Amino acid sequence: MGKRLVRACRLDAALVLFALLTLAPLAAAQEDSGNLPQWHPLRPDRVAEEREEPSASMSESFYRRLSRTHELLDEDNLIEALDLMDRIRPDRLSDYEAAQLYQTYGFVYSQLEREDEAFEAFEKCLELDALPTFVQQGIVYSVASYYAGQERFEESNSTMLRWFRHEAEPRAEAYILMGANFAQREMMREGLPYVVRANQLAEPPNESWRNLQLAIHVELGQVPEAIDLLKENIGIWPDRLRFYQVLSSLYIEANNDEAALSALLIPWYRGMLDAEPDILNLTRLNLFLENPARAGEILSEAMQRGYVEENSENLRLLLSSWTMAREIDRAVDTIDKLAELAEDGEFYHRKAMLLNETGDWSGVVDSCRRALEKGSLENPGEVWILQGVALAELQRFDEAIDAFESAKREGTDNIRRNANAWIGYVRDRTGDTSS
């Protein structure tokens, strides 16, 4: 998990479907600054320790050889330069001279792309601790970075602390290196303060670093902190859809469904939301929060734009939206599409029931006819009853009685009793006393 967080430094589905861990909050993750040395990078009142500058004297013989080596390097004669250095005996040199020699070895090996030998030379250089502070600090930082690249994360952080000790104004990259090393070792609480500090120093803001901080907050179950960071991220990069998606998921974790909905509505109205799963989630969230009209508008528009497929499942969701919103005409239009896709007549039956609520008796009769023609109905007797009622309202009494008789033949006992009652009602209305 840690390696993925650091190497990718981006949000993925794991941030949406994360499992909250019961861990201490950020304040507990930071060590008591009073127990840290004055130069420690996490102390708010840190003061770098001044390093005593070593002696920088060289013998004339070594100076000449080193100068000749650098001349060969300037001429890109790396092999000849290396051969010349190999003839120098480090055991006969002062610490400063030996440090200069190993530093040059490191440079030459780097140019030859012999990385392991280069950093072995730099390590020997650091052991001597004999170069001027400015030069020494550069090598310390390079070695720490090399260790990180070799997945020697603990050694990298130990070397970085050595660098921090004498660095008056540490740069943001130094803090992120420390934080990333901790994260690689699954030490999220220890790494978080460094990542936070890196993001405080970063100018301009670094999206990858802030994503790493977000991932750590989520891993530690620090949902409020993750939400605050995402809000900041959206303010900096308002066109990053992923931030809105994850923010919505975090609000759901925090049981703030209204805020979760708002987080997804913003990219929708800005034209950023065009993936079918996101739009379906937005639709369902609106339905859950009893905003069916908005749910229907969003899903209908998405279908028109081609973002969401007009298949049976999605059309059912649209139908639920329009039905809950009491948008009968739109619900009927959706049912017509569903009915064409369906293998049975149930959707025509449902259309007939909706039209029955509006008093569109002709529409009810036609929809019932279509339902019966398509067949495979769960309870055809109910359809015959509905058709008979509509025909009676249209004063097509003989046809109504025929429909009720069909209901008696194809319906349950309850349907038959209901059909007989309707037949009696129609005959009373028409003055027909025949049994």
pTM of the model: 0.76
How distant is the alpha carbon of residue 208 from its chain centre?
13
CATH match of 238-341 with 1.25.40.10:
yes
pLDDT at 9: 31
Packing angle between helix 223-236 and helix 207-219, nearest 10 degrees? 160
Write down the pLDDT at residue 1.
34
| Residue 355: its H or E element | helix 346-358
What proportion of the chain, given as a percentage, has pLDDT over 70?
A: 91
- Residue 343 is predicted with a pLDDT of 84
pLDDT (0 to 100) of residue 429? 84
| C-beta of residue 49 within 8 angstroms of C-beta of residue 38 | yes
pLDDT at 377: 86
Question: Helix/strand/coil (H, E, C) string of 107-161?
Answer: HHHHHCCCHHHHHHHHHHHHHHCCCCHHHHHHHHHHHHHHHHHCCCHHHHHHHHH
Residue 322, Cα to own-chain centre: how many angstroms?
31
Pick from 223, 211, 156: nearest CA to 185 = 156
Q: Do domains 238-341 and 345-435 have the same CATH topology?
A: yes
Residue 114's alpha-carbon distances to 140, 161, 200, 263, in angstroms, are: 19, 27, 37, 51
Q: Please state, in angstroms and rounded to a whole number, the distance separating the CA atoms of residues 250 and 253.
A: 5
Dist CA 309 CA 313 (whole Å): 9
Q: Which CATH superfamily is domain 345-435 in?
A: Tetratricopeptide repeat domain (1.25.40.10)
Rounded to whole angstroms, the Cα distance separating 194 from 183 reads 10
Residues lower than pLDDT 70 in the chain? 1-34, 432-435
pLDDT, residue 25, reads 32
8 A C-beta contact, residue 264 and residue 277: no
Tell me if 284 sits within 8 A of 312, measured CB to CB: no
24-45 residues labelled b (16+ CB within 10 A) or e (exposed):
eeeeebeeeeeeeeebebbeee
Q: What are all long-range contacts of 63-68, with beta carbons under 8 Å and residues at least 24 apart?
A: 66/100, 66/101, 66/104
In angstroms, rounded to a whole number, what is the distance separating the alpha carbons of residues 143 and 139? 6
pLDDT of residue 32: 53
pLDDT of residue 7: 30
Contact between 218 and 52 under an 8 Å Cβ cutoff? The reply is no
CB atoms within 10 A of CB 417: 12
| Domain ranges within the chain, ordered by starting residue | 238-341, 345-435
